[in-house]
Every structure is written in structure tokens, then in C-alpha cells.
Structure 1
Amino acid sequence: MLQQTTKIGDKPTKKRFQILTLIFISVVINYMDRTNISVAASALTEELSLSSVQMGLIFSAFGWTYSLLQIPGGLTVDLVKIRILYPFILTAWSIATLVQGLVSSFAALIGCRMIIGVFEAPSYPCNNKIVTTWFPENERASAIAVYTSGQFIGLAFLMPVLALIQSQFGWRGLFIISGIIGIVWAVVWYIFYRDPKDHPSINQSELKLIEADEVKTTSTNSKEPKKETKISKQDFIAVFSNKKLWGIYIGQYCLGGTLMFFLTWFPTYLVEYRGLDFIQSGFLASVPFLAAFCGVLVSGFSSDFLVKKGVSKEVARKAPIIVGMLLTIFILGANYTDDTFWVITFLSIAFFGNGLSSIAWVFVSLLAPKHLVGLVGGCFNSIGGLSAVTVPIIIGFLVQGGDFKPALIFIASLAAIGSCAYLFLVGKIERISTESPSVEAKAI
């Protein structure tokens, strides 16, 4: 353990925000490696003579392993130190990204995408565990909003950059450069990340600020296990049978459906269905990502503001998610116009709504027993990750005839279902106890 520097004075240091910066950049790299395949899709389809169904399978291959391994990934986060785990998985998925630039077959691309999914699986449970460890409860939605915004603001600027890289170095160079960036960042992460009690320059005031919520939770929830070294059968029953948790699981799947359209088929939609040239599509594709970035920041900071003003968590935490999913239904508007401006406008409103809904991770921190944050996060992201498996393939079949209208109807339907999940299943926001699953966990 590093020697902690004790500082005199009551003003807390702000080391937690430096840690948040590390998470933010990691999320940008994470999503760069997920989505560079969408930028390369047109070139891949032409060079390797791939059909829309085959391309849908390549898009979804990441989700097969990513979703399947969320629960093991969540358990790993509970058992392995973040400082060791994060740079390891970052290096591994970056190597797989790089290798994509060296292969030339449909099967090899599927394999690389599956490997990326394997090693990215623990990443979001890691992010949530770090925020739970480093931030008091009344700052977590803002923290989650900031790092989640990395997937949007990063891609908003990266989409045109990735398009330019591909225009200069080809789709192979795009993958190789992306992989190298991730490997370098893994080294940076290991050098700079520490848990709060191990950080060399955090002061006691910030530590007390971070730990205040832990003390409050322990004193007000006597049923919560104080120390838990093993995850029991009862824990698994609670995690998989609780109605509140299923509400956020279903909501996350529906939220992921919109995201997967933008991360996979969106550039193809602009180029092949809307007739835009490749470079132009890269710049126009950035607009909805900027809208989503604004949405997630508005959601996180307004939600925390309402909590600090004494507004109930049912309103402060759930309202942005429900409103966001309802706004996502505006994606249907793109089916009724041929004007590029209005197409981008409707898609931007929809993706703004997706960003507004993206603080859903805060419910893992609010509902999960303290010793099961990683496991619940794994279940949450596993079921959400099924959208990465199913949605690209479904869209691939829906657009076989070159018409994207059914695909947009499908995305709007998912958003409507997601809003209903939060309205009718989540209910009162309170931490779940694993002591009496017969009472606390209502099977559905």
C-alpha cells in the first residue's frame, strides 16, 4: 500500500475527479474499438464480398461473448483488484483489435470480434465499481454521466477522425492504429490508478467525504451484510428473481438496442440508404453522438441536482430515463422525410434521448447489495449486452431489401418497452437485502 499523504485543513482534495478522467478516456477507447468496425463496414463489405446478413453477424459477434461473460466479468471485478484487472483486459482487447487489420476472412473477423467481447466484458462493471468506490452517493449519477458521455463525445469526434484514418490507411490501418492506442493507454492506467485508501495524495477530508455514504448505509440498513467474502446461492436467487432488478435489466436491453443501431448500422444507413459519400457521412454521423453527449450530461447533473434539493429518488433518478426513452421514439420521424437535415435532426433527438437514459447504471449502485455490486452490474450489463447480440442481426435481416424503415420501427418499439419497464417494474428505489429473498425479492 502506498503511503497516504495527510493534508491539514478541512477542504477535501479532488483526486476522485482525476480518477474519473481515467475512466472517461478508457470508455472513449472502449467504444472506439467497438465501433471502428462500423466505419470499416462499407470497405469490408466490398473487399470481402459480404452480404448484409453476414455484416450483421460480424457486428453482433462482439455481443455474443460480451453478453455471455458479463456475469463472470462482474464476479471477477468483485474478486480482482481493479488496478490489475483493467490494464490487463484493455491490453487484451486492444491486441484483438489490432489483429483485425491483419485478417482477410469472414470467420477470422468473427473470431476477433468475439475476443474483443471477451475482454471488454468486465469493463463497465469495473467502471461502476470504481465510481462506487470513489464517489459518495449524491455524486454518482454525475460521475456515471461523465464517464458514460465518453462513449458519445468520444465517438462524435472520432467518427470523422476514423473516417479520415481509413481514407489514408485503409480499413486495415484503422484497426492497427486503434489497437496501438489501447495498448499505450493500458500502461498509463496502471501507472496512475489507485483505490482511495492507496492513493498517495488524497487527504483525509476527501476520504471521509467518500466514505460518508458507506457509514450512512451501514447504520440505516441493518440487514445488509457488513462483510461478505463468498457469493452464496441466496445471493444469486436475489439477483435473478427481484422485480426491481428485472426492471433495470429489461430497460438496459432496450436502451442498448438504440445504441447498437448507432454503433453498427448507422454509417451504412447514411452511405447506402441515404446516399451520402463516405467522408460526409463521417461528419454527419458525429451530430447525433454530440446530441447523445448533451443528453447524458443533462441527465446526470440534473438528476444529482434534484437529489440534493430533496426530490425523491423515484423522480430524480427515473424521470430522465423514462423521458429519454420516450424521446428515442422520435427516430420514426426519419422514415417520413428525404431531407438530410431532417433525417439527422430526428436521429439526433432519438440519440439525445438515449443519452438522457444512459445514467441507468446508477440503479446498480442504488439497488444492489454493497457486496454484490459487481454481480448485479454483471447481470445488468449481460442482459443489456444481449442487444449487441440480437439487434445487429435483426437489423441485418430487416434491411436485406435495402429498406431501413422497418429497422427504425423496431428501434422505436424497444424504446417504448424500456420506458414501461422503468414505470411498472422498478417501483420504489431502495437497496435490496439478500437476507430474506422470499420477502424482498418478488419473482416475476
Structure 2
Amino acid sequence: MAFDTPVMDTPATHARRTRTRFMILALISGGTMINYLDRTVMGIAAPAISQDLGLSAVMMGLVFSAFSWTYAAAQIPGGILIDRLGTKLTYWLALTLWSLFTALQGLAQGFASLLGLRMLVGASEAPCFPTNSRVVATWFPQSERARATGIYTFAEYIGLAFLSPALFWVLHAYGWRVLLLSVGAVGVVYGLIWWRKYHEPHESKTANAAELDYIREGGGIVDGGQKATRFEWRQIPALLKHRNMLGICLGQFACNSTNVFFLTWFPTYLVTERHMPWLKVGWIAVLPFIAASLGTLVGGWVSDALLRRGYSLNVARKLPVIAGLLTASVIVLANYVESDALVIGILCVAYFAQGMSALAWMIVSDIAPKGMLGLSGGVFNLFANAAGIVTPLTIGVIVSTTGSFVWALAFVSSITVFGALCYLFIVRDLTRLPAIEQPEQGVSK
């Protein structure tokens, strides 16, 4: 997607701007793609694991949910870690550890070991999206942030879309253990690439003064001047007392519920509810992920286009999110059609809309208090991944109790409507939240 980079009247306008920020965007996009491969490969392997290890639907629901127990619990510590250690080291540690634990899942011998390793993957992945948000706020002017966010979010889905047939083939040919070991190994190697290539704007040897001036004048943090905050637990309720922060957190819980369904139970739904052959599922499953990836790009493009045309930040950011949440509720219509083609079409529309609403991550960068991007992102993602705890477990109980996904889809649909109502009635005009008073020197943290 093209970015508009008009020449601005700065001291460096005599030089053509470099485009180092797009290389940085490519780096976090690659990391995000691996992040989602590692968390969702369990959904692909689930039927084979269930059969091999003798796990029931409720037990698999617990395994799916376990990722988000620790992922959600580690959001606040992960956000603090980013603010303390910085982007480069935090992301490298997270990427390497979650990839190692993904690979080790391939050695699991039963429910307990699989559950424990799944929890370790969740804890290790916690800093990823708060770090992405921080990188975008650092390297991009406000006028480009929505599309930048859309592009790295696009990577979540496009990797799954184009790699799913290969992942299903590996599963069919070599089994679920080789699948998990292989996916984990890729992440460890990518960690080395990240460590070598990532740098902050003020440390860059490839970004020229014209590019740095452009980012700075657009609100990017190019001088390393974002002081790390000293953490106190009281800062969390201090953030959530602002209705905008609370509203977007509740909205993200709703948005992620649809996402979690597709990342966990979707392949099982196609096999058990729609009775599709397993290898056919590998190709059919591509379509909703392609739709979701397009939704992220459309959401970012619409948001930045509205901003360029003079609409307020409030309209430009909230409109795609609300439209996405309301449209995603059509997932419940899959209960009322017989044709597999129509079912896939409905699911594609729902996931496309969910991709649009993923733009909400951009709002965190817009409203977080200065110096608290990491913590704000951690709080936001904590709510998002409460859905990762509730949704897969609830669906597992529903399917186990009723023997059907009918009420499961109704549950997901109702949650998306709730999210839209949060943005309509809780979130007001989007402005940066005031700085939170820092603890005094010597006060215990």
C-alpha cells in the first residue's frame, strides 16, 4: 500500500527522504506473522492431537484457552518491560522464547505437558503487540500510522492464509509433532534477523535528516526522548478511569472474540459441523484469512483517507472500528444456511470486518499518555486477551454440551455488537490522555 509522503518545508527538504521506516515496518510485520503462526498452529494440529493424546473437546478448549491465561496475565509486566528495556531487547527475548516453547509443544506427551507449554507460549508472546504499537508511534508520523498498523496487522492473517495449505500438508505427511517443531524453528532464526536489523530512529545509520524531520514533525518519537516511567500498580486504574481507555479496552475484548474463534475452533468447525474432508479444509481455511488481511488494509486506508480529507481523528479512527464490529456480527447467519459455499462466504465477510476493527490498536498510540505506550498497550491487550480466555473455553463447553456450534456462533455474534456499543456510547473524542503523576524517588514499586 502506498504511503503519501508530501514534501514539507523543513531544513532537510533539499534532500530526498529515505524510507527506512518501511524497512522497520517490514521487520515488525515479519515478527507479527510468526507470532500468529505460533499461536494458531495449535488450531490446525488440534484434531490430530486430540486423537493422538485422547483429549476431549473440553480439554482442547482448555488448551486453547491456556494460551490467553498467561498471555493476558503477562500484558502488564510485558508493557513495563518494554518501557524499561526498550524495543529491541524486549522483542528479541519474546520472539526467541515463544518460538522455543512452540517447538517444544511438539514433544508433549499428554494433557498436562501440552497445557504447560501452551501457557509458556502465551506468556512469551505478551510483549509483541505493545511493542508493535510503540514502534509505529516512534517511527511513523500520525498521518501514516493507521496504514502502518493495517500493514503489520495484515501480516497476522496473510501468513496464515498463504501458509495454511503448506501447514496442513506437513501435518498430513509428517504429523503434528514435526509441524510444531518446524514452525518454532523458523521463529528462532527470525529472532537473529531482528537483533541485527532493528534500531531506533536516533540510532539509525540509514534514515537521513529529511526522513527524521518528517517523522518528528508528524509526532513520531525520533530523538529517544520518551522517558521510561517508573511503574506503580495505581497507574493501571489511573489509566482505566478515563472512559476512552476503558471503552477501547472493552471494545477490543469484543473484537478479539471473533478473531479467537477463527484462530482456534474454525478448522474443527469445518470438520465436525460442516463435515468437510480434512485436506479440503486446508484450502478452504485460506479464504477467511485472506478476507481478514484485506480488511486490515481497507480499515487503515479508510482511516488515513478520512484524516487527509479533514475529518477529525475521532471520526477517522472510530468509524472503521464500529463498522467492522457491527458487520462481524453476521457470523451468526452461518447457522441458517445449508450450502458450504454460502457458509464460507458469510465467514469471510465476518472475518473481513474483524480485520477492519483491528485498527483499534492505532487508537492506543493516539491516546496513550506520553512515556506510557508500553503500559497502555499492555492494559489494552490484557482486555483483548481476556477474550482469548473466555471465547475458546465457552465454545468448548457449548460444543461439548450441545454437540453443535449453533450457540457458539450466536455467542460470538452478540459479543461483537456489545463492542460496537462500547465505541458508540463510552468512547468520546480521541485526545492524548494526560500524563500520570510519577512516583517519587525511593518509593517502592
Please give the TM-score of this superposition, normalised by the length of structure 1.
0.92
Q: 1:311-390, aligned counterparts within 5 Å?
A: 311-390=311-390
> What residue in structure 1 maps to residue 394 of structure 2?
394
Cα distance between partner residues in 2 of 1:355 and 1:420: 18
> What residue in structure 2 maps to residue 90 of structure 1?
95
Deviations 1:388-414 (A, max 9, x none): 111100000111132101000000001
The answer to whether the 8 A contact 1:125-1:378 is kept is yes
> What residue in structure 2 maps to residue 410 of structure 1?
411
> What residue in structure 2 maps to residue 222 of structure 1?
none
> What residue in structure 1 maps to residue 168 of structure 2?
163
Q: 1:55-134, aligned counterparts within 5 Å?
A: 55-134=60-139
SS in 1 for 2:430: coil
Gaps of at least 5 residues in structure 1 are: 1-5, 217-224, 438-444
The answer to whether the 8 A contact 1:234-1:434 is kept is no
Structure 1 pair 215/158, CA: closer, same or farther in 2 (3 Å)? closer
The answer to whether the 8 A contact 2:369-2:436 is kept is no
> What residue in structure 1 maps to residue 443 of structure 2?
none
Identity of aligned residues (%): 41
SS in 2 for 1:341: helix
The answer to whether the 8 A contact 2:291-2:351 is kept is yes
Deviations 1:133-157 (A, max 9, x none): 1001111111000001111111111
Gaps of at least 5 residues in structure 2 are: 1-10, 439-445
Deviations 1:328-355 (A, max 9, x none): 1110110001211000001011001100
Q: What letter corresponds to residue 309 of structure 1 in structure 2?
A: R
Task: Tell me how far 1:201 sits from its aligned partner.
Answer: 1.0
Structure 1 pair 283/150, CA: closer, same or farther in 2 (3 Å)? same
Q: What letter corresponds to residue 372 of structure 1 in structure 2?
A: M
The answer to whether the 8 A contact 1:235-1:434 is kept is no
> What residue in structure 1 maps to residue 24 of structure 2?
19
Task: Tell me how far 1:227 sits from its aligned partner.
Answer: 5.2
Q: What letter corresponds to residue 265 of structure 1 in structure 2?
A: W
Cα distance between partner residues in 2 of 1:135 and 1:235: 27
Q: What letter corresponds to residue 348 of structure 1 in structure 2?
A: C
Task: Tell me how far 1:81 sits from its aligned partner.
Answer: 2.3
Task: Tell me how far 1:232 sits from its aligned partner.
Answer: 5.1
RMSD across aligned positions (CA): 1.9
Task: Tell me how far 1:435 sits from its aligned partner.
Answer: 5.8
Q: What letter corresponds to residue 74 of structure 1 in structure 2?
A: G
Task: Tell me how far 1:231 sits from its aligned partner.
Answer: 3.7
Q: 2:216 aligns with which of 192, 196, 211?
A: 211
SS in 2 for 1:43: helix
Cα distance between partner residues in 2 of 1:41 and 1:228: 41
Structure 1 pair 101/8, CA: closer, same or farther in 2 (3 Å)? same
285-294 or 225-234, which deviates more = 225-234
Q: What letter corresponds to residue 172 of structure 1 in structure 2?
A: R
Cα distance between partner residues in 2 of 1:143 and 1:118: 26
Cα distance between partner residues in 1 of 2:140 and 2:78: 22
Deviations 1:371-399 (A, max 9, x none): 11111100000111111111100000111
Structure 1 pair 198/69, CA: closer, same or farther in 2 (3 Å)? same
> What residue in structure 2 maps to residue 302 of structure 1?
302
SS in 1 for 2:113: helix
Task: Tell me how far 1:25 sits from its aligned partner.
Answer: 0.9
> What residue in structure 2 maps to residue 220 of structure 1?
none
The answer to whether the 8 A contact 2:139-2:220 is kept is no
Task: Tell me how far 1:238 sits from its aligned partner.
Answer: 2.4
The answer to whether the 8 A contact 1:255-1:357 is kept is yes
Cα distance between partner residues in 1 of 2:330 and 2:240: 33
Deviations 1:138-188 (A, max 9, x none): 111110000011111111112211101111110000000001100000001
Cα distance between partner residues in 2 of 1:422 and 1:114: 31
Q: 1:175-324, aligned counterparts within 5 Å?
A: 175-214=180-219, 229-231=229-231, 235-324=235-324
The answer to whether the 8 A contact 1:136-1:213 is kept is yes
Q: What letter corresponds to residue 284 of structure 2 in structure 1?
A: L
- May I ask how many residue pairs the two structures share in their alignment? 424
Q: What letter corresponds to residue 283 of structure 2 in structure 1?
A: F
Cα distance between partner residues in 1 of 2:227 and 2:284: 51
Task: Tell me how far 1:64 sits from its aligned partner.
Answer: 0.3
Cα distance between partner residues in 1 of 2:125 and 2:233: 26
SS in 1 for 2:371: helix
Q: Could you say which structure has the higher helix fraction?
A: 1
SS in 2 for 1:103: coil
Deviations 1:73-99 (A, max 9, x none): 011111112221211111111110111
